[in-house]
């Protein structure tokens, strides 16, 4: 089976990727398969212990950390966030739970934050960008993907735990599961030498091309930062970790991501009523350009390999990641890649997902 997966990853590279790392488990130690380069310039290969930026997969870790505080009686998920953010517009009507279930109505910052590799952002500055750039809606409405809520969730975790966000995630989530290759670079030191380089595709837009993100418009503000080019460009350092914080700063390996998801679904991390806070109560979503169909808190229902999986996907300039678990078969799978694009519809941004489909069919056989 690993041989078939190696062939699959080699095809992904031949189609235009640079490096890929995949791991899976149905109960035992994760099996890891890698291909391609961690650094095109030096020719260093990807190995299973190489770290990738995992973008919004961070949200599942942060959601689990917030829920863990509730399980230990440190906070009430139904409480309004006004006690932490008295000056935030509408804070008395937004619950702690809504910070992580995409139903908070908060304005978004991701599409407006300027790319500045040397800038060190504070969480409050990210929130300020959101309120200066986007419109706020009433909480409790339809699920609308929201990064600002996760920034505020990280701030709540720090205030309640008395630790940095990365420090609390480590003590509450990573250490109990024995995860040794996962880090939160915005708030803790990490082994930068283990990072793979990320590569971004930013071709010149076609004449009269749509700027709407769902139709292939660019997600991130790259003007004056990265020129248009048909070639992949190194984007490893464009987006500082502090600009992602609780919504997307983490780095990991697929093996650690698999162990994390298995820890969540097995009850190692959260007792059933508190795991239900993440998994149950899902509502339909429509995030064009993604496979996410229902959202809980830090967890989405998506279809892979013709089966219902639960987990998250993530992207950050030059990197794409996905981690998924199927409660029926017991399969957990994660994959990371060091190519990316601001165009959600492009191969560099979305080509990883069909690879995961095929990997699942290799591991489990075709869906019935």
Encode pLDDT of 259-311 as tens digits: 999 999 999 999 999 999 999 999 998 676 678 889 999 999 999 999 999 99
Q: Give the residue numbers spanning the domain of 345.
A: 2-364
Question: How many Cα atoms sit within 13 Å of 64 on the Cβ side?
Answer: 30
**Residue 191 above 70 pLDDT?**
yes
Give the chain's domain count.
1
Compare 223 and 331 and report the one with higher pLDDT.
Answer: 331
Ramachandran angles phi, psi of 308, nearest 5° = -85, 115
pLDDT band at 231 (very low <50, low <70, confident <90, very high): very high
Closest to 244 (Cα-Cα) out of 341, 350, 147, 112: 147
Q: What percent of the chain is predicted at pLDDT more than 90?
A: 87
pLDDT value at 215 more than 90: no
Strand partners, 315: 320
pLDDT at position 159 over 90: yes
Q: How many residues does the chain have?
A: 368
Which CATH number fits the domain that encloses residue 23?
3.40.710.10
β-strands 199-202, 52-53: how paired? Answer: unpaired
Is it the case that residue 218 has pLDDT exceeding 80?
yes
For residues 30 and 255, the answer to whether their CB atoms sit within 8 Å is yes
**Which residues have a Cβ under 8 Å from the Cβ of 191 and sit 6 or more positions away?**
51, 183
Residue 50 is given by DSSP the state -
Q: What is the SS3 assignment for 39?
A: strand
- Residue 174 CA to residue 171 CA, distance in Å, equals 6
Instruction: Indicate whether 211 pLDDT > 90.
Output: no
Which of the four pLDDT bands, split at 50, 70 and 90, describes residue 219? Answer: confident
Q: Yes or no: say if 158 and 224 are a contact pair by the CB < 8 Å rule.
A: no
Q: What is the pLDDT of residue 289?
A: 66
pLDDT at 333 (0 to 100)? 98
What would the pLDDT profile of 328-358 be if each residue is shown by its tens digit? 999 999 999 999 998 888 999 999 999 999 9
Q: Yes or no: say if 81 and 91 are a contact pair by the CB < 8 Å rule.
A: yes
CA atoms of 288 and 164, how far apart (whole Å): 34
Is the Cβ–Cβ distance between 24 and 30 less than 8 Å?
yes
**Neighbouring C-beta atoms of residue 11, cutoff 10 Å:** 13
Please report the pLDDT score of residue 326 as a whole number.
98
Cα(149)–Cα(103) distance, integer angstroms: 9
Residues 26-43: tens digit of each pLDDT:
998 999 999 999 999 999
Those residues with Cβ within 8 angstroms of residue 86's Cβ, 6 or more apart along the chain or in another chain: none
Burial of 167 (0-12, 13-18, 19+ CB in 10 A): middle
Model pTM? 0.97
- Dist. CA 111–CA 342, nearest whole Å: 10
Separation CA 298–CA 68 (nearest Å): 13
CB atoms within 10 A of CB 41: 8
């Amino acid at each position: 089976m690993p041989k078939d997966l190696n062939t699959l990853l080699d095809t992904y590279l031949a189609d235009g990727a640079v490096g890929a790392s995949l791991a899976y488990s149905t109960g035992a130690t994760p099996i890891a398969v890698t291909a391609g380069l961690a650094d095109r310039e030096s020719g260093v290969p990807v190995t299973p212990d190489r770290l990738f930026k995992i973008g919004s997969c961070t949200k599942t870790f942060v959601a689990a950390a917030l829920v863990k505080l509730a399980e230990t009686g440190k906070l009430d998920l139904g409480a309004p966030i006004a006690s932490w953010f008295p000056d935030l517009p509408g804070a008395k009507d937004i619950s702690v739970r809504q910070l992580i279930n995409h139903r908070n109505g908060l304005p978004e910052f991701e599409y407006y934050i300027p790319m500045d590799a040397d800038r060190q952002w504070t969480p409050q500055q990210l929130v300020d960008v959101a309120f200066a750039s986007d419109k706020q809606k009433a909480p409790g409405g339809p699920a609308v993907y929201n990064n600002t809520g996760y920034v505020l969730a990280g701030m709540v975790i720090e205030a309640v735990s008395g630790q940095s966000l990365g420090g609390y995630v480590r003590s509450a989530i990573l250490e109990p599961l024995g995860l040794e290759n996962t880090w939160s670079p915005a708030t803790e030191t990490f082994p930068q030498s283990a990072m793979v380089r990320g590569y971004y595709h930013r071709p010149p837009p076609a004449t009269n091309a749509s700027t709407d993100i769902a139709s292939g418009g660019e997600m991130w503000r790259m003007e004056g930062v990265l020129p248009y080019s048909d070639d992949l460009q190194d984007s490893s350092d464009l987006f500082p970790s502090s600009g992602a914080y609780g919504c997307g700063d983490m780095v990991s390996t697929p093996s650690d991501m698999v162990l994390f998801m298995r820890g969540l679904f097995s009850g190692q991390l959260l007792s059933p009523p508190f795991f239900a806070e993440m998994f149950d109560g899902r509502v339909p979503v429509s995030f064009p350009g993604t496979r996410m169909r229902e959202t809980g808190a830090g967890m989405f229902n998506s279809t892979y390999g013709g089966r219902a999986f639960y987990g998250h996907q993530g992207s950050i300039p030059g990197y794409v990641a996905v981690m998924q678990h199927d409660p029926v078969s017991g399969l957990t799978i994660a994959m990371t890649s060091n190519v990316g694009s601001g165009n959600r519809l492009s191969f560099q941004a979305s080509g990883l997902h069909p690879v995961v489909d095929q990997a699942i069919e290799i591991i489990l056989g075709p869906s019935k």
